[in-house]
């Protein structure tokens, strides 16, 4: 298991003042990003790091724990760190899909405690800035004619949410998703490096992780997989739907803890997030990270997870990922 610790990062403005939340046993607050730096899990932890900084007198530590697209962390927090009050772990809709399809082993959504959300993200179809593809229509024409002719990659294996995004797009062309040439990376950071290095032509990523890369001018987003256009800084990027392709993928981003964390510590984290949700600063952090407001915590989130898991199991079954 590779673990990379990073204690620096974003600091919120000095004017950010939130009511104090008392944590029962939390002494070294930590957010686990279950992948290498640079992907969506990194973005998720940065939201918590900045948004809860005032509660801890500074940003919490972020630890990167790559392996199995979240499986290593999920297993760790179901074994040796089941009762760790200090740590929250980033998850996404992709994590939930992995649970639904059994990629996290025998563990299910009932084996952890879901704490709070960081916001909502959306799928994105991304190419290098110098790519021959300047529109989604051009890419779809090539994929329809030869699904294996254009190399697609993402931070997830076959059956992951990133694979599902590509599969749904190819299905729109009338071709078989199983015919596509897909390269799986261990996290979004590695996939982006593969795109920039030329080993893949298209990256099926998430909008939130694109902010610094769009500013740098190294990549181009051909479409966002959202129901309608997003606000700045993505307002100029068309959706797949408005380009004639009925594909949408909404990504829930949030945090879980071990199942045996005490109610006192669990509720302290929940209360901290709920307090942060009520501030303008939290909304700004979400916007800066390319996330839309989706603020759920505690029992409300637990209920939402149950509904989402039912839906994901249905989708996975229809795609042949669950026998």
The helices-and-strands tally (H runs, E runs) of the chain is 11, 10
pLDDT of residue 16: 39
Kindly report, residue by residue over 123-175, the tens digit of the pLDDT. Answer: 999 999 999 999 999 999 999 999 999 999 998 888 888 888 998 899 899 88
pLDDT at 7 over 60: no
pLDDT of residue 314: 85
The backbone torsions φ and ψ at residue 258, rounded to the nearest 5 degrees and listed phi first, read -65, 150
Cα 30 from Cα 45, distance rounded (Å)? 9
So where are the chain's domains? 4-121+251-318, 122-243
What CATH number has the domain spanning 122-243? Answer: 3.40.190.10
pLDDT of residue 23: 53
CB 139 within 8 A of CB 83: no
pLDDT of residue 24: 52
Cα 58 from Cα 80, distance rounded (Å)? 27
Kindly report, residue by residue over 278-294, the tens digit of the pLDDT. Answer: 999 999 999 888 788 89
Beta bridge partners of 219: 128
The model's confidence at residue 1, banded by pLDDT at 50, 70 and 90, is: very low
Cα 149 from Cα 142, distance rounded (Å)? 7
pLDDT of residue 209: 81
Q: Is 206 left (phi over 0), alpha (psi -120 to 50) or beta?
A: beta
Kindly report, residue by residue over 16-59, the tens digit of the pLDDT. Answer: 344 444 455 677 899 999 998 988 899 999 999 999 998 888 88
Counting beta carbons within 10 angstroms of the beta carbon of residue 307, is it exposed (0 to 12), middle (13 to 18) or buried (19 or more)?
Answer: exposed
In sequence order, the 6+-apart residues with CB closer than 8 A to the CB of 297 are 115, 116, 117, 270, 273, 274, 277
Name the CATH superfamily housing domain 4-121+251-318: Bordetella uptake gene, domain 1 (3.40.190.150)
pLDDT of residue 188: 85
Higher pLDDT, residue 16 or 65: 65
pLDDT at 297 over 90: yes
pLDDT of residue 303: 96
Check for a shared fold between 4-121+251-318 and 122-243: yes
Kindly report, residue by residue over 169-222, the tens digit of the pLDDT. Answer: 998 998 888 889 999 998 888 999 999 999 999 999 988 888 888 888 899 999
pLDDT of residue 323: 65
Kindly report, residue by residue over 255-276, the tens digit of the pLDDT. Answer: 999 999 999 999 999 999 999 9
Per-residue tokens: 57:
């007198």
pTM score of the predicted model: 0.74
pLDDT at 11 over 60: no
């Amino acid at each position: 298991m590779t673990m990379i610790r990073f204690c620096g990062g974003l600091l919120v403005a000095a004017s950010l003042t939130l009511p104090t939340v008392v944590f029962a046993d939390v002494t070294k607050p930590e957010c686990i990003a279950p992948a290498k730096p640079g992907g969506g899990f990194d973005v998720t932890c940065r939201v918590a790091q900045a948004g809860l900084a005032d509660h801890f007198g500074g940003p919490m530590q972020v630890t990167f724990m790559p392996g199995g697209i979240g499986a290593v962390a999920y297993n760790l927090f179901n074994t040796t760190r089941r009762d760790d009050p200090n740590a929250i772990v980033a998850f996404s809709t992709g994590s939930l899909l992995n649970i639904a399809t059994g990629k996290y082993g025998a563990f299910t959504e009932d084996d952890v405690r879901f704490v709070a959300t960081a916001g909502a993200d959306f799928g994105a179809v991304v190419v290098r800035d110098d790519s021959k593809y300047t529109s989604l229509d051009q890419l779809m024409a090539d994929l329809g004619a030869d699904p294996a002719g254009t190399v697609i990659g993402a931070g997830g294996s076959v059956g992951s949410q990133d694979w599902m995004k590509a599969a749904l797009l190819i299905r729109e062309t009338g071709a078989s998703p199983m015919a596509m040439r897909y390269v799986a990376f261990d996290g979004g950071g590695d996939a982006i490096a593969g795109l920039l290095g030329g080993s893949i032509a298209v990256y099926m990523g998430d909008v939130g992780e694109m902010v610094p890369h769009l500013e740098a001018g190294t990549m181009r987003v051909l479409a966002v997989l959202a129901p309608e256009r997003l606000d700045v800084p993505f307002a100029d990027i068309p959706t797949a739907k408005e380009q004639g392709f009925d594909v949408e993928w909404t990504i829930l981003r949030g945090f879980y803890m071990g199942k045996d964390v005490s109610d006192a510590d669990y509720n302290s984290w929940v209360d901290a997030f709920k307090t942060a949700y009520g501030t303008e600063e939290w909304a700004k952090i979400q916007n800066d990270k390319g996330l839309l407001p989706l603020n759920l915590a505690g029992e409300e989130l637990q209920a939402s997870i149950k509904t989402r898991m039912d839906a994901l199991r249905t989708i996975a079954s229809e795609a042949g990922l669950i026998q």
